[in-house]
Structure 1
Amino acid sequence: MSLRDTGRRVRLRRTGRIPSDAGVRHYDELSDDEQGVVRELAGEPWTAPEIGELDDGDVVKFTDYYLIRSR
């Protein structure tokens, strides 16, 4: 899966609560591009271009659970 060119940006935010309607993906299920963005953004206040199939409100299990925020 490659990066989408939608003009939207994503940020990862550590979360202790997983919304019941959130899609949850484990880090090792992600494409190489998605893994790179997750590694870069985890725990940092940066944004990156919208990635693969991860959408606003989804959760990624990496070193912690991270909520995807997209706009």
Structure 2
Amino acid sequence: MRLRRTGIIPADARVRHYDELDEETQVTVRELAGRPRTAPEVNDLDDGDVVKFTDYYEVRAR
């Protein structure tokens, strides 16, 4: 999975706040936020979800 910073949140997107995520997912979000890296998918997030962290990030599955 990858995270892509976004300023547009689709009306049908599930928005997840960082503090709602489990610890493993929080670590993955911290590692991917703002970096062009790929990580294994986590069970807590699906393709198209948006995570509110330091900014809004859209989840993209590989």
TM-score by length of 1: 0.85
User: What is the number of equivalent residue pairs in this alignment?
Assistant: 62
Q: Secondary structure at the match of 1:34?
A: helix
Find the counterpart in structure 1 of residue 32 from structure 2: 41
Q: Can you give the 5+ residue segments of structure 2 that lack an aligned partner in the other structure? A: none
Find the counterpart in structure 1 of residue 45 from structure 2: 54
Q: Can you give the 5+ residue segments of structure 1 that lack an aligned partner in the other structure? A: 1-9
Identical positions, percent: 71
Q: Which protein shows a greater Rg? A: 1
* 1-structure distance, mates of 2:30, 2:44: 16
* 2-structure distance, mates of 1:14, 1:60: 9
TM-score by length of 2: 0.97
